[in-house]
Amino acid sequence: MSESNLPNGWAEATIEYICNILDSNRIPLNSKERSSRKGGYPYYGANGQVDSIDDYIFNGEHILVAEDGGFFDQPGKAVAYIVDGKFWVNNHAHILSLKANMSALWLQSFLNTIDWMPHVSGSTRLKLTQGKLRNIAISIPPLNEQHRIAAKIEALQAHSAKAKKALEEAQCLLEKFRQSALAAAFRGDLTASWREEHPDAEPASVFLQRIRQERRKRWEETELVKYATKGKTPPKDWKKKYPEPVAVNTEGLPDLPNGWCWTSLDEIITTIDAGKNFLCQERPPQNEELGLVKISAVTWRFFDENASKTVTDHSLVNLENIIKRGDLLISRANTLDLVGATVIVDNITKKLYLTDKVLRINTVIDNKVWIHLFLSSYLGRTFIQMKSSGNQESMRNISQYSIKSIPVPLPAELELKKIVQVLCGMLSRQDNLKKRVDELSELLVSIPPSIHTKAFRGELVAQDPTDEPAGVLLERIAAETAVLSASDAKSQQARRGRKPKSEVAQLTSFPAPGREQRLLRLMEYIISAYPGLSTTVVEERAKLATYPAVCARLLSSRASTFRKALRESGEGWKFSKADVVRFGRLWESLEANYGIRISSEGLCTMREGRKPEPWPSMDTLLPFFNKAYTIFTAERHNHQDIQADLDSIGVMQKIA
């Protein structure tokens, strides 16, 4: 939005102008390091919390923005998120701290509405560099309006969350209704009154006998066609080759209503057709191309013909295995929850064929819907899962024999038709309600972007002409930034020109806080302040050193400078074997606890037991620390922790 199109009182600035970017304070830890440091502080990455560890780097409210691995190319998914409290961040997220009490929720909402693609680079893994982030332009409302916008967004998000929860509960209720309806159907509850009104109805046993006769008749007709095709006369005993269906095992099966019976699936079907799987192009076929169906085509209760792949060698296809409208299909392999999923093909426009994992069940009579619904019920799914095989939850298999042996409840023929009629009507209403819930869920997803769009056009909340304009806020931020920059420059210049005082203050003994952590912080301060060294502002180092791991990292990179300072102090340092062991343990602890690897030969050789460059003994080291203490006292630092840390110089005595 250009300056001329901004609402009254708004202004435009960059991220760099209104935020402190704290990326230099990040420390990544690999999974092995994190596993050895489990604790109660959240460890954040590009898209949220990835772990918990035993320490923290940052404290307070911040905004994290994905650096790489974020959802930059997925509108509607968050790239920025707010964190608060004490936490750690790896190097996959930028860290923003707002200036001048600006609203974090307002900025986070803005960042999650912009098109990130012009700002990121990379092909396989998109990356938002700090330079790009710094220069992103933002339309900034007055400070009071920011907080009104944030409050409004928060209220609307709360309403949206309630609506989302209600829709999720509705989804669960609809699924429970479906399973309850299926269970009632196959217990005979839906037609209890029908049975009372038809006491003389033909029992299921008679119906089953008629199915068996039809099944055998179909087999005989098929065999005669085979003999005729080959030009042969059937032998006298050819009918004895009829494969009897798999018998049902009724042990442990639930009781059925009077007039019903248990049968195996094999008794009420003729055959199961299977195809082959071979190399194809991973795309759905088009026009007259042939295709193989994928498992996912039959997974979600409806047939998805686009879940298919294109055949390049037509000679590999068995044309008899083409999928037709009305086919009952079943998946032979999938996860435990989805193996054995069935669908009835209600519509198909592509030339698709069966595979070895998607099979076709051919029934004796028109009872495909009955079989499909039963295998979709809780009881049917239980039988399928019991008969599936495989050691991994991610991929289970069910053989054709196991499919044929699945027990199926069978009512009388007229009752079966009545149940299918009533049940399909109930499930149709359930499907319609589910579609409506799905539509509302999709609508709910589209609401936040529209809210944010209105918010950043200045249309979400009323504007107050008495609000301080955003331009004044930006001027105040600029003035404060200039003062801080001048103070830092002056401090650095003064340090370069200052000579150490000759007097040494008396050392005062204090109780030792956490030994190694305090020592690390103290040593970092001394490195920063030792006269003659080129260092950054001491206060900045002190702030960073508030957290041991950060301090350890800084210290490790400057170890040689510290040792040089010790050597040049003219004290003629000497060390004992105990000193070597003492400092060796300290550095070993750094590596074990904070992932710090010291490249300096002198420090590394301590761990190996070889003689390193001289470190001072404790007797000669303490005067040096006294000298540093005097220098720091003269600096008059205002960091709240520095005096306590300097005073804890007594920790050296405790370690000694």
d(CA 360, CA 407): 18
Lowest mean pLDDT among 45-49, 55-59, 471-475, 527-531: 527-531
d(CA 465, CA 563): 62
d(CA 61, CA 87): 10
- DSSP letters of 130-188? HHHHHT-EEEE--HHHHHHHHHHHHHHHHHHHHHHHHHHHHHHHHHHHHHHHHHHHHHT
| Contact in structure between 529 and 500 (CB atoms under 8 Å) | no
**Amino acid identity for residue 199 in this structure:** P
Per-residue confidence band for 574, with pLDDT thresholds at 50, 70 and 90? very low
Per-residue confidence band for 21, with pLDDT thresholds at 50, 70 and 90? very high
Q: What pLDDT was estimated at residue 633?
A: 43
Greater model confidence, 623 or 66? 66
d(CA 269, CA 625): 91
**CA 75 to each of CA 445, 448, 641: distance values in angstroms, whole numbers, following the listed order:** 11, 11, 44
- 19 phi and psi angles, rounded to 5 deg: -130, 150
| Contact in structure between 445 and 76 (CB atoms under 8 Å) | yes
Q: What pLDDT was estimated at residue 200?
A: 93
The pLDDT tens digits for 136-189 are 999 999 999 999 998 998 899 899 999 999 999 999 999 999 999 999 999 999
d(CA 360, CA 354): 7
Residue 226 scores a pLDDT above 70: yes
Per-residue confidence band for 392, with pLDDT thresholds at 50, 70 and 90? confident
Greater model confidence, 314 or 488? 314
- List, in sequence order, every beta strand (DSSP E) within 54-145: 58-59, 62-66, 80-83, 86-89, 93-98, 137-140
Task: Give the closest residue to 343 by CA, choosing from 328, 353, 332.
Answer: 328
Q: What pLDDT was estimated at residue 157?
A: 86
Q: What is the mean pLDDT of residues 517-521?
A: 45
Structure tokens at 542: 């002190």
Residue where the block lists tokens 């359930």: 430
The pLDDT tens digits for 313-334 are 999 999 999 999 999 999 999 9
